[in-house]
Structure 1
Amino acid sequence: MTAAPRMNAPDGHLIQRMPVVRGRLTADAPLAPVTWFRVGGPAEVMFRPADADDLADFLAALPAEVPVTVIGVASNLLVRDGGVPGVTIRLGRGFTDIAADGMTLNAGAAALDLNVAMVARDAGIAGLEFLSGIPGTIGGALRMNGGAYGRELADVLVSATAVARDGRRLEFSHAGMGFTYRHSAAPEDCIFTGAILRGEPGNPLEIARRMAEISDKRADSQPVRSRTGGSTFKNPDGHKAWELIDRAGCRGLSIGDAQVSEKHCNFLINNGMATAAQLEALGEEVRRRVFETSGVTLDWEIKRIGIPAAEGSTAQ
């Protein structure tokens, strides 16, 4: 038994092979409107599971040859112009709950990092203020050991839950996550569903003050009102990515409407009509110039997904 395809899906569309779900399946779902860059092609099929059981049942029944991609709020994501083949999974309301218990928080993978920090503040749990400076979700923070302002998820994680590509339910201890800088060693094909985080006793007013400081620092140093994807490159050992980019003369560099931010040159900006291809090409040009001037290879921090569409343009 398969789920009914959307009326506008052509015969033979992948959605016609999808298992029955309690959540929502959409054919050729636009992705550009949900990404912070506002670029990219559609998802061949978008699945928004109702809850973890729905997700596990779906993956267990999904043919093994169908590729699966997971996205969150798409704040640190570049979707290529050709779109994303297979099934794109985006967790929603069934994964946003946040509950405090003593000095621990149980947070769904789709919970916004800012919301987790706010619940911790209200519960008098200190040590999670840094999450307010990460514009993403707990699921994304788990995948890349998200961090900001001197702390990272590895500092506060107790354990995490996930669903494997074959539908098995998984649980990871802190050690099992294998955290390193902006990376976790959890299997790439598992989908995080939640986490338990631990802080320490704190005064809600003092916690609120630290969160306000983080908010002010972000606004002062980052192009938070622009169409951007957050930090573009990881900091190499012994270096700051933005300093290497600046020394390579890349501040303000552009390809079409894709530009290296003048305010913080480890951010790329869509000034209006940029394509994903232009943004990615600009990032690669920055990497080339940084290596040419410093001998350091920058690694992408932004996750790039999907297939490209042919497009050529030149740096200015």
Structure 2
Amino acid sequence: MDLRIFTEPQQGASYDDQLRVAKATEAAGYDAFFRSDHYLKMGSADGLPGPTDAWISLAGLARETSRIRLGTLVTAATFRHPGPLAISVAQVDQMSGGRVEFGFGAGWYDAEHQAYGLTLPPLKERFDRYAEQLEIITGLWKTPAGETYSFKGEHYTLTDSPALPKPAQSPAPPVIIGGSGKKRTPALAARFADEFNLPFADQETAAAQFARVEAAAQEIGRDPKEILRSVALVVGVGRDDAEVERRASAIGRDAEGLRKSGLAGTPAEVVDRIGQWREKTGITRVYLQLLDLSDLDQIDLIASEVAPQLD
């Protein structure tokens, strides 16, 4: 079972805050450090000192870490044009020595689009654009060196692109797709995803969505086992009940509620909970959403007392 640290810097974190967490993640032996790609805080957080750009931040982390995988859950298709985005991600992959994973979604948070002058199209158009972007970005990466790439869709047209630079990973960085849409999301995952992630869902919902992805893959003749299954869950692990309560309170959550909806409790409770998830849904990877980026002790606690008990 892979354990990855997943952060939400738009809630209030500088690049230096992220660097401390990424270095602690690497030192503790985790598989990866991921971050959200958002430009506006959510809920009651103050969001200070303000947002950081996901791919600029990951470029910095690529040079200041050496082993952990780096990526987004998830970059919004509404934020960037596909050609320049393919260049940015490929460059960060080169800068990291081939450690990037590309989480990519259609975009959803209306308030951040309004706050920064971004367009959030209606849902159907948004998914149409998202599908074209997936085609373009993966097409650019996979075009053999020395050849050109062209694409003509309803929303984007590329003509004789040199399709450069190439990512360090060949033919491309892993693509992560997620979400709860019942038709188009599984269909796109079947075509493009190396991993399908379901964030903040219950086990029954996750199992049903993974089954839809599996069916969509079979429909186009792809082996569903090629698509890794993962979930993202809010974490609140403590050595005893008092520490669990303290960690839940620090992120504005109720400990009992967090036990039910996330991964909260003592190490033994969390090991059992992850085992239930694996049995019910077939996941092999968990993104631990760490909302308190000052809590490096929790990173070490999970690494030392939870991870060794997972196969």
TM-score by length of 2: 0.29
Whose helix fraction is larger, Structure 1's or Structure 2's?
2
Whose strand fraction is larger, Structure 1's or Structure 2's?
1
TM-score by length of 1: 0.29
> Which has the higher Rg, Structure 1 or Structure 2?
1
